[in-house]
Chain A
């Protein structure tokens, strides 16, 4: 089975520019997650989708971050404008059903974002 696909793998931008990341979950996975992982820390959830609806976006900085999953399949995460503290790895994960841990989350390779 194909895994979670993310692109790009690396991105370098200047502060105040905008950037977008793309994620294609495992086929059939209804739940999709975006995590931010700052160097030296564990991943922190930004937003969780169930199909094309948002389940949890309480930790998403909505003044600059946005995410969508229009057709309930792939998703994009956007940052506009970027700040220095947004430098991190952005991980996408998917699972079959929210909250059922016998269906664990599968992670993509992540996008490493560097802000200059």
Chain B
């Protein structure tokens, strides 16, 4: 069975600073996709960034980038120049073929002015 683990229940960062959220996963498959979703208090899950496992290059999306270590099964999210609007729950998720998305338990990020 596939699992996703987020070991940091809560984190905080000063505005304009950089923060890294950790995620590890477990699967025996070689082809899969990884995602980071953001869930603000409005509850809507918003896709932040995605990574295809067959791509060695780390995905980037403006201030968001990932450090994908396939051998270590690690998929961390780095947020640069943190903004107050980044305050939210962040979920790491794993998708393999036709199976459902598997989510971690989330990390609550607070950006402090």
What residues of chain A have their CB less than 8 Å away from a CB belonging to chain B?
3, 33, 40-45, 48, 55-56, 89, 91, 93, 98-99, 101, 104-110, 112
Contact = CB atoms under 8 A, between A and B. Distances in A.
B33 A42 contact: no
Interface of B: 4, 33, 35, 37, 42-47, 50, 52, 91, 93, 95, 97-101, 103-106
Contacts of B46: 107
A113 B44 CA distance: 15
Contact of B101 (A3, A45, A89, A109): A45
Contacts of A107: 37, 44-46
A40 B105 CA distance: 7
B98 A109 contact: no
A48 B105 CA distance: 21
A101 B33 contact: yes
A42 B95 contact: no
Nearest to A111: B43
A39 to B, nearest CB: 11
Contact of A91 (B45, B50, B100): B45
B106 A42 contact: yes
A18 B54 CA distance: 46
Contacts of A109: 42-44
7 A-B pairs with the lowest CB-CB distances in the bound complex, closest first: A42-B103, A101-B33, A107-B45, A45-B100, A99-B98, A110-B43, A109-B44
